[in-house]
Structure 1
Amino acid sequence: MSPRRRGRKKSGRGRAGPQPLELWRAVPEPPAADPVLPTDDPGAIIRSLGTPPLTGQAHVADQYLELAARKAAATATALAQAAALLVAVDELD
């Protein structure tokens, strides 16, 4: 192919272009969300899996995984609070 023809587009005969999306269409209301109760011990699920199989670094890995679980729980709690879904323990009775 010659250098002049490289940058030219082919004619649009016989091909349909991409269809436009309807970005501003109405969407149905989301279902009602269940209330969120923050956990007392976010690292429990990590500890239930046992010690990570990392020779010589299992203790450090335990600490990092626990920290990651705590940060994830804190983020989830903050999002639930922002969405007005956070429930206190005394409200569950």
Structure 2
Amino acid sequence: MSAARRRRNKGGGGSNRRKGKKKPQVGFWGDPAKLPEQRRDVRISTEPAVVPHSLGPPPLPGHETIAEHYFTAVYDKSVTLSGALAAAAGLIEPDELVDELGE
């Protein structure tokens, strides 16, 4: 380890923040009136890997099967998380999410 990495702060606090004036807090810089209307037609996919699978097997010689498995797991997880975010944002009702996924 280099000598620079072994040095310890002699100031005690261990904080590297600059001391002095704090920056004033700034409100949201956007205009909420200019935001687009919220869409209410959010749907949760029951087959999230359809488009990537339509492209064929991944170009990983000797690892196509396992790669497809992992890619599918990632697509499934992303759909689950996006459904949770949509429910948290009020775009869908959590009950609708359960109904659509058949759980």
**TM (normalized to structure 1)?**
0.63
Which residue number corresponds to residue 24 of structure 1? 27
Larger Rg: 1
Corresponding residue pairs, total: 71
Asked whether 1:53 is paired with 2:56, we answer: no
Q: Cα–Cα, structure 1 residues 84 and 56, in superposed 2: closer, same or farther, change >3 Å?
A: same
Report which structure shows greater RCO (CA 8 Å, sep ≥6).
Answer: 1
Identity of counterpart residues, as a percentage?
28
Runs ≥4 residues deviating over 2 A: 20-23, 87-90
Unaligned runs of 5+ in 1: 1-19
RMSD: 2.6
Q: Secondary structure at the match of 1:33?
A: coil
Please point out which of 86, 94, 98 is paired with 1:80: 86
> Is the CA contact (8 Å cut-off) linking 1:46 and 1:69 kept in structure 2?
no
Unaligned runs of 5+ in 2: 1-22
